[in-house]
Amino acid sequence: MSDRDARFVRAVGKVGNPETALPDYLERTYWWAYLRPASIRIFDHKVIVSAILWGQYRRLSDIVLTRIAGGNRVLQLACVYGDLSQRLARQVGPEGALDIVDVAPIQIANILRKLVGMDWVRASVADATTTRSGSFDCVLSFFLLHEMPDPLKRRVVDAALAAVAPGGRAMFVDYACPLRWHPLRPVMAAVFALLEPYATAMWHTPIAALASHPQEFSWTRETRFAGLFQVVIAERFNV
Ligand SMILES: C[S@@+](CC[C@H](N)C(=O)[O-])C[C@H]1O[C@@H](n2cnc3c(N)ncnc32)[C@H](O)[C@@H]1O
């Protein structure tokens, strides 16, 4: 292990939460993407994330950011490679708050490293399926659902919705079913079959259908890039 990795592993030890176990699916399916220092060295670059999302990372991030105002309280469910969290933090500003949770201590250590000096940001090791009080103006799930087994997708959607304050919204940005003629349709089907076993469900299951109490929200859904990506927004009725 290099000195740099050893320092990083020590930092990870400090943010670890012994009560939060790594889910089996994460270790089994995505160890190479998220759980090793080399994963972060290789993947945590805007250009890489952008390539993985076929050049749409900035565009999808912008859609999220235009719906967040200065002073908002935002909950981000799971870390994201690239600069989305830094942009979210700048957007809410010191008048607001950004809470980031991730089940992997190594990801929390990494995000803290990227957000040094922004003391209105909190990042902690926790499972996205944990229910939190409904005090957030915005709850964001950015490409998390497709990486989870189906029963956990439901739990994350419910947990995200439960955390939304009256008048606030949950935003789910993820894969969707590309149009039939989409040249990347067979490519994505192959990628999912090979590397992302829980992702194909996003082609067939509407996100709103994963919610236990969808009637408490007004739902909108837009797709991008000929259907390959979806942005679903659930706005809690202000009653
Ligand atoms: C948001 S997803 C995918 C993001 C996107 N592919 C990217 O560009 O980084 C990746 C993160 O989800 C986290 N994660 C997976 N399952 C989780 C869970 N149950 N609770 C919290 N975080 C979870 C992983 O540790 C990882 O950091």
Which tokens belong to 54?
Answer: 């076929």
Domains and CATH numbers, the chain: 3-236 (3.40.50.150)
Supply the pLDDT for residue 1: 60
Cβ neighbours, 10 Å, residue 103: 22
Ligand 1 pocket test, pick from 79, 129, 142 with the greatest ligand atom count within 8 Å of Cβ, gives: 79
Q: Is 3 exposed, middle or buried (0-12, 13-18, 19+ CB in 10 A)?
A: exposed
Residue 146's SS3 state is: helix
**C-alpha–C-alpha distance, residues 107 and 110, integer Å:** 5
Tell me the CA distances in angstroms from 162 to 155, 194, 221, 222, one per residue in order.
10, 34, 19, 22
Q: pLDDT by residue (tens digit) across 209-230?
A: 999 999 999 999 999 999 999 9
235 C-alpha vs ligand 1 centroid, how far in Å? Answer: 23
- Cβ of 34 less than 6 Å from ligand 1: yes
**46, containing H or E segment:** helix 46-52
Q: pLDDT by residue (tens digit) across 33-69?
A: 999 999 999 999 999 999 999 999 999 999 999 999 9
- Cβ of 102 less than 6 Å from ligand 1: yes
Which tokens belong to 77?
Answer: 């469910």
- Cβ of 199 less than 6 Å from ligand 1: no
- Indicate the pairing of strand 97-102 with strand 121-125: parallel
Q: pLDDT by residue (tens digit) across 119-146?
A: 999 999 999 999 999 899 999 999 999 9
